[in-house]
Amino acid sequence: MLRAFIAIQLSDEMKRQIGSVQAELKREVSGSGRGGKAVKIGWTQPEGIHLTLKFLGDIQETQVEAMREILRKAAAPARPFTLEARGLGAFPNPRAPRVIWLGLHGSNDDMAELQRLQAAVEDGVASLGFPKEPRTFTPHLTLARIRDRVEAGALELVLTAQQNRVVGKFAASSVELIKSELRPSGAVYTTLVEVPFGAGV
């Protein structure tokens, strides 16, 4: 069994910029817990941040080739597009954050291209028995996960102050099936399949 997901890779420059933002946030949130209690946050390693289109969980090794075909079909009509990483937010909300994320934006055409690609991936893997995500796809990059519940509002000011922060842009030109191995030192990611946009057109 392989633990896997389908995603778009970020540029090295974007990962570097995200690392700078995380370092700044770490300084800002240290000690932001009330009553002297520090906020416990698990920061995502910048090199491991992707634009996830579909988290699959465990898949059989024999399904990799079927996934390759699904990605080919999804990527065939796609064209490269550019996304801007802008604005910090939190799931479920900034007052009681569990996940800190960085928003992704683009032109109407580029966002439509991303939404079409994600829907094609979602429909494709559903044909293999992977349940569809009931929530609407919200493009974002996960920067951190809150490990302990934070008193409401402890991080709200930090996130609100950064809600329009522009981090940078990156170009998307391919989609990947990525294996995730959880190790004591952190997750290790390996690309199993990469399909460029417009392949086979």
CA-closest candidate to residue 115, choices 125, 126, 104: 104
140, 141, 146, 167: which is the annotated catalytic residue?
140
* Cβ count near 195 (within 10 Å): 22
Is 105 marked active-site?
A: no
Say which residues have a Cβ less than 8 Å from residue 185's Cβ, sequence separation at least 6.
none
4, 7, 10, 50: which is the annotated catalytic residue?
50
Contact 27, 34 (CB under 8 A): no
Cα 131 → chain centroid: 19
Instruction: List, by residue number, the catalytic residues.
Output: 50, 140
